[in-house]
Chains A and B, each alone.
Chain A
Amino acid sequence: MDFDMGEEVATLRTELRRLVRDHVPADYLGAFTDDPADLEVAQSFCRTLAADDQLCPAWPARFGGRDASPWEQTAVREEMWAAHEPRGAQYMGVNWVGPTIMRHGTAAQQERHLPPIANGEVIWCQGFSEPDAGSDLASLQTAARPDGEGWRITGQKIWTSYATMAQWCFLLARTSREERKQQGLTIFLVPMDDPAIEVRPIPCMMGPHHLNEVFFDDLRVGSDAVLGEVGGGWQVVQEVLAFERVGIARYARCERLLQWAPVALGEAWGSLAEDLRGRWARMEVHARRARLLAYRVVGLQHEGQVRPADSASYRIAVTTLDQDSAAVLAEIAEHAPDTDEGRRFRRAVEDHWRYSVSATVASGSIEMQRILMARSLLATR
């Protein structure tokens, strides 16, 4: 066995930490706050990363990347999430929108969309969920009907993150009614500045920009907006989920906050209840466990293997870690001193707690993961 990622990854981490230290304020808690300056930090940081060849290192060189190893990609994911994701909304473009366009896009679509993502200049949103299609995504009703050489799209999406700021939407719509609901779905790449699109923010506990409703009122798009085959959208969605199989490195932020806790508390750490320090130690173990489960999935993916139960184990372990660690840290943070660092720690923990509430719902509910895992466990029965 070998759990050492090697010198190359260590060097990359050092560089990423330098970039964060030099370009992201110490009290930064993500792009999506009431302060527009935080959003500008993210936009600017993406351009900085792009200039340093660190925005999409895992992309092939011909699309603007540098063919980095999956472990470098993992390190980027960890360092960014630990630093409250200073790439803002652009992580989606890098992680899965771009790679999906590489696989399914026409040459014209690749030329149009990939350079802006690689240069850190564009924000995408994902138009999947609908009021009556959440975990049961294939039940979606947003319809695209043929209109001459193009299409007209009408319907509603919901829980759409970053829709107020996105320039493009990766939209899943129904183009025909078939025997199975997974058939007849198509992906469209849609410009968000069209007047036929209305975005209505939904206030929520994580702060602004996370949740929106998006209405498409007879939106006209050309045939060049279709990604892949008409009616082949469900297969593309499965690939999107495969790119996201490891997803956000939630364990990295948990690990950072857990490690920060004794430092931030200073002398107060010694007077914490023994039980609370024990719960902190258990969370340290759970954070390591989630990280190692992620590494196993990354390693298997790299070898071309997919074991659904492994991916599901990881997703369940990391999302429950997020919530359990937030509860422990919130209790610890109450003992943080009223110093600059103590206050920064408390704010970071509060932010972590708010995000953690959504962890078992966002990007696919934990119940779906359990269903997938049970199917795999019981497959031969």
Chain B
Amino acid sequence: MITELSPEATELGQHARRALEAAGGDTLVERAEADPARRAELVEPVLAPLGAWELDVRAGADELEAAAALCRSAGWWATPYPVAERLAAPIGTGVAGLVVVADDHPRAALAGMGGTWRTVALDGGTHDATAGTDPRPARKTGFVVPLELDGSADPASPEDIALGLVLPCCTLLGMLDRAIEATCAYAGDREQFGQPLSRFQGVQFQLTEAEVERAGLEVLAAYALWSIEAGRPEVVEDALALRVAALDAARIAFRVAHQVHGAIGFCDETPLSWLSRHSEPIRRLPHGPAGTLASLTDHLGRRGLAGLFTGEEARR
């Protein structure tokens, strides 16, 4: 039983976080919002020396866990680049990345990104697509644009669908890491009624609520990655289960983070403002909380998630 990423993957993630910080950290997303066409030039050269773009997530556990660690570090800085989607790309197909989309009106946070992208619906249907445009500024859209479908491709495997769901959840986990870290720091610094906010039990308990959600997301992400590594038949259900938990966790953690920060949390001088709004595309697409839960419920049918008991075993 190994419940955490490999030490090598964890170390790679730490390197990536430092590299992104050195390249601008929180300012990367500001610069990309100002000119979405610069997203690739801002981020690709930062992660290239770490070997990010040579990873083949289908080649085995080592590379998949390395990719997951990179996505988490990208989330920490709200990195303005589709790291998870690019890492999920099937190698050798010539596509720039893989994006899970809703059946109707497929959209993704690909503003300013060139190349051909592979879209995958939860039923396995795929298309090649290019990023469209949205006249509104990226500040309003979070880089989300409609996708222009060029034609259908081969049906996706369950592994493809799972990768397309799981890696963005790792990005979201990184965003929650940072949001909670920033909120704890703020609660320690900010004084009201003559003492730091962190001394108030009402604030402390909110922080623990967010942390329980974050910790739960972390272990479920590890499990979903293992499910892909092990080639389990329930791989899509495991990924959907992760996404259900990830969306709940994000709702709770960002609610707490904003509440504790107060008005300053809405201001662009705090990282929370950027993290919060750039978490939204991951949380809304391909389906938000209700749609994701409905998909999971449909997939589970009467079986439930694979675990300690099948239905027959449960009845003794």
- Residues of A whose CB lies within 8 Å of any CB of B are 1-5, 17, 20-21, 26, 71, 78, 82-83, 252, 255-260, 262-264, 269, 274, 277-278, 280-282, 284-289, 291-293, 295-296, 298-299, 309-310, 312-313, 316-317, 341, 367, 369-371, 373-374, 377-378, 381
Contacts and interface: CB of A to CB of B under 8 A. Distances in A.
Contacts of B302: 262-263, 269
A15 to B, nearest CB: 14
Interface string B212-256: 100110011011011001100000000001001100100000000
B187 A378 contact: yes
Contacts of B184: 377-378, 381
A2 B226 CA distance: 6
A83 B216 CA distance: 26
Given A259-B307, A278-B294, A378-B188, 16 more contacts: A3-B223, A260-B311, A263-B315, A264-B315, A281-B300, A282-B244, A282-B248, A288-B223, A292-B216, A292-B222, A293-B216, A313-B211, A313-B215, A317-B215, A370-B205, A374-B201
B59 interface: no
B304 interface: yes
Interface of B: 1-6, 61, 65, 180, 184-185, 187-189, 196, 198, 201, 204-205, 207-208, 211-212, 215-216, 219-220, 222-223, 225-226, 229-230, 241, 244-245, 248, 293-294, 296-297, 300-305, 307-316
- For B188, B241, B300, B307, the residue with the greatest tally of chain A CB atoms inside 10 Å of its CB is B307
A286 B293 CA distance: 13
22 contacts: A3-B222, A3-B223, A17-B313, A82-B309, A259-B313, A260-B309, A263-B311, A284-B305, A285-B220, A285-B305, A288-B307, A291-B308, A292-B216, A292-B223, A296-B4, A296-B219, A317-B216, A373-B208, A373-B212, A374-B205, A374-B207, A378-B204
B211 A373 contact: yes
A284 B300 contact: yes
Contacts of A1: 2-6, 61, 65, 222-223, 225-226, 229
Contacts of B300: 281, 284
- For A82, A259, A374, the residue with the greatest tally of chain B CB atoms inside 10 Å of its CB is A259
Given A4-B1, A288-B223, A313-B212, A381 B187 contact: yes
Contacts of A373: 208, 211-212
Q: Which 5 A-B pairs have the closest CB atoms?
A: A381-B188, A374-B204, A262-B302, A260-B314, A292-B219
A309 B187 contact: no
A248 B216 CA distance: 19
- For A83, A281, A367, A370, the residue with the greatest tally of chain B CB atoms inside 10 Å of its CB is A281
A341 B219 CA distance: 35
Given A284-B304, A285-B245, A374-B208, A26 B219 contact: no
A377 B315 contact: no
Contacts, number: 172
- For A2, A289, A316, A367, the residue with the greatest tally of chain B CB atoms inside 10 Å of its CB is A289
B309 A255 contact: yes
B308 A256 contact: yes
Q: Is chain B's interface secondary structure helix, strand, loop, or mixed overall?
A: helix
A264 B309 CA distance: 14
Contacts of B208: 312, 316, 369-370, 373-374, 377
- For A78, A257, A341, A370, the residue with the greatest tally of chain B CB atoms inside 10 Å of its CB is A370
Nearest to A315: B212
A320 B313 CA distance: 25
Nearest to B241: A285
A199 B216 CA distance: 42
B205 A288 contact: no
B3 A259 contact: no
A267 to B, nearest CB: 11
Contacts of B225: 1
Nearest to B219: A292
B172 to A, nearest CB: 15
A252 B215 contact: no
A42 to B, nearest CB: 17
Nearest to A293: B219
B293 A381 contact: no
A257 B315 CA distance: 8
A371 B310 contact: no
